[in-house]
Chains A and B, each alone.
Chain A
């Protein structure tokens, strides 16, 4: 059989791809939610922070205006009032005058308006304070005061949001992949089950059905529908078989009686003329019967039910046996027969049918080819077995080679010879049953029948 094996690649299963898509969607949603939470939390905290710092700055500046003391004193006084804020006062030359935190000159130079700075940027801060956010005010004389609030909670909050996000993301990813894997495995197991059942049905077991689960899901609905179809097919095939049997019986029985009658009459009535008449009539009946048998056989082979009897066959031995059986007849017809078959070739098939197929092709050589040499060859080519039956006779014109496989087609040259034009049709049907085919080629000169069959 030429059949694709059920694919085991996870990515190729539609269930897993569907799971991946919905997983991507969930993850996208999670990212969006976290971005919004992160941005809002950040904004709200900044706004409150900035309001507090601005208010402190306004208070300080108005104090400085009112009491006319120097800036450093005011900073120290305000600092003593507490409030949890950080203050720093720098002289115009950048030296530290007062405050509860300090910054490097580089930070001082770059601090304009509201800014965020972390300890690593060059800030001297109490322990546990990792970052600050605040404003710098520059006086006309170059003196600078900075008021900032502890920004560590924001960092902590951001870290928390990032950690929760990582946790949620990871959990969704893991669960999504896992559930995707399991649902894909469940689905592909069911599909594999169907594929096995369908192969068995194709192999001729028409009573086989697909498994239907109890869930009533789409697979079960599909299986139920297919089973109904298979039931119908089986009934039709049985009807056909019954009709074929009936026709066969109803046609054979009267033919049998006619034949018996003719034989009995031939015995009863002596006389050379009568005897030859009876012989001729019997030969005609036998010819009609041969056609009938061949047609029934073709129909039977094409129905495919025979596949369930397939076994591993030593095709080398079968070919040798046929060659041995045909050799004296070939020799008597003046045809030299060479056999080139390696030992040990095995294929899965039906022995009786393969013998008949090969015999039909060999019959064509002895009856129609007009050859002096013939050759039987066989070889294993990958997973297939190739058998060639070649002769050096008249051959068949290329245009007619396809036609000879059709039923009842007999080429003009062979019309006067025995045969019924069904031999090659039957051979082709048998090759097809074995997952192969027969091709007729030019043998320069003569004809070469190349049979390709599925190996074991």
Chain B
């Protein structure tokens, strides 16, 4: 993935590059807002990572300018600004995702992959399949190996989200935000408990297991 990182702190930029490049991404760094805007406008990037507090041009204005010029490269704000209204401001300015520093690399990586895939997503499919599991988004039914599986509404949405991201790791916070609409992390293991229930329904008694746990990172639905 070609990533444009707009970040004025050289150490932070170096760390990010060191964290992302081993995962096969090409990282270009823009050290200030104006440089970032010019590079982003020139195109050729799959994803933009934008800090909010930037010299010469702040991140919000930068992205608003890009969106105003019909440049829709997926953008993620990576910023120390974590106030209640800050995320909303970032999304309103045209951001596709918002991650507050400090962050875990697994979290950033999972979100970048999701962003990149979202922009390249095929037209809406009504049936999501993996191995012998099939989810019908219209009739809201699930079956595995021809057997119908009863799911509660949230379990259905959770499975749907995992299937839309099949082969990718989705993190606990991504699930909290996107499936439950929670923009905070509860102390209770909500996601784990739901995954465990879902597993009991779609993996128990079937081969191979489809839901995989990545300790400290999240979950992935995949054949292997």
Interface residues in chain A, defined as those with a beta carbon under 8 Å from any beta carbon in chain B? 245, 248-249, 252-253, 255-261, 263-264, 267, 279, 282, 285, 289, 293, 296-297, 300-301, 306, 309, 321, 324-326, 328-329, 331-332, 352-353, 355-356, 359-360, 362-363, 366-367, 418-419, 423
**B187 and A363 form a contact (CB under 8 A):** yes
- Please provide the chain B residues from 107 to 128 with a CB less than 8 Å away from any CB of chain A in the complex: none
Distance in angstroms between the alpha carbons of A253 and B78 in the assembled complex: 11
**B193 and A331 form a contact (CB under 8 A):** yes
**29 pairs, CB–CB < 8 Å, chain A vs chain B:** A248-B80, A248-B81, A249-B81, A252-B82, A253-B9, A253-B80, A256-B80, A257-B11, A259-B103, A260-B19, A263-B19, A263-B105, A264-B18, A264-B19, A285-B102, A289-B102, A296-B82, A306-B84, A321-B180, A321-B181, A325-B190, A329-B190, A329-B193, A332-B193, A356-B184, A360-B186, A363-B188, A366-B188, A367-B187
Quick one: given A264-B19, A329-B193, A418-B187, are A253 and B12 in contact (CB under 8 Å)?
Answer: yes
Cβ-neighbour of B182 out of A296, A309, A355 (below 8 A): A355
**A255 and B102 form a contact (CB under 8 A):** yes
Quick one: given A256-B101, A263-B105, A264-B15, are A324 and B154 in contact (CB under 8 Å)?
Answer: yes
* B 11-28 binary contact with A (CB < 8 Å = 1; else 0): 110011011001000000
**A329 and B189 form a contact (CB under 8 A):** yes
Which residues of chain B come closer than 8 Å to A356, judged between CB atoms?
Answer: 184
Distance in angstroms between the alpha carbons of A260 and B183 in the assembled complex: 23
B196 interfacial by beta-carbon distance below 8 Å: yes
Which residues of chain B come closer than 8 Å to A267, judged between CB atoms?
Answer: 22
Which residues of chain A come closer than 8 Å to B140, judged between CB atoms?
Answer: none
Quick one: given A245-B81, A252-B101, A363-B187, are A325 and B15 in contact (CB under 8 Å)?
Answer: no
Cβ-neighbour of A297 out of B84, B152, B186, B189 (below 8 A): B84
Nearest CB on B from A427, distance (A): 12
Majority DSSP secondary structure for residues of A touching B:
helix
- Please provide the chain B residues from 150 to 164 with a CB less than 8 Å away from any CB of chain A in the complex: 152-154
Which residues of chain B come closer than 8 Å to A363, judged between CB atoms?
Answer: 186-188
Distance in angstroms between the alpha carbons of A8 and B104 in the assembled complex: 59
Which residues of chain B come closer than 8 Å to A332, judged between CB atoms?
Answer: 189, 193, 196
**B80 and A252 form a contact (CB under 8 A):** yes
Nearest CB on B from A330, distance (A): 8
Known interface pairs A326-B188, A329-B188; 18 further A-B residue pairs with C-beta atoms within 8 A, sorted by A's residue number: A248-B81, A249-B80, A252-B101, A253-B80, A256-B12, A257-B9, A260-B19, A289-B102, A297-B84, A300-B83, A306-B85, A325-B194, A329-B193, A332-B193, A352-B84, A353-B84, A359-B184, A423-B187
Quick one: given A296-B82, A324-B154, are A252 and B102 in contact (CB under 8 Å)?
Answer: yes
Which residues of chain B come closer than 8 Å to A296, judged between CB atoms?
Answer: 82-83
Q: Which residue of A lies closest to B182 (CB)?
A: A355
Distance in angstroms between the alpha carbons of A289 and B101 in the assembled complex: 10
Nearest CB on A from B30, distance (A): 18
* B 182-207 binary contact with A (CB < 8 Å = 1; else 0): 11101111101110110000000000
Cβ-neighbour of B102 out of A259, A359, A362 (below 8 A): A259
Nearest CB on A from B130, distance (A): 23
Quick one: given A253-B101, A256-B102, A419-B187, are A325 and B82 in contact (CB under 8 Å)?
Answer: no
- Please provide the chain B residues from 74 to 102 with a CB less than 8 Å away from any CB of chain A in the complex: 80-85, 100-102
Which residues of chain B come closer than 8 Å to A252, judged between CB atoms?
Answer: 80, 82, 100-102
B53 interfacial by beta-carbon distance below 8 Å: yes
Which residues of chain B come closer than 8 Å to A301, judged between CB atoms?
Answer: 84
Cβ-neighbour of B104 out of A263, A324, A355 (below 8 A): A263
- Please provide the chain B residues from 31 to 45 with a CB less than 8 Å away from any CB of chain A in the complex: none
Distance in angstroms between the alpha carbons of A285 and B101 in the assembled complex: 12
Which residues of chain B come closer than 8 Å to A309, judged between CB atoms?
Answer: 85
Distance in angstroms between the alpha carbons of A197 and B188 in the assembled complex: 42
Which residues of chain A come closer than 8 Å to B183, judged between CB atoms?
Answer: 352
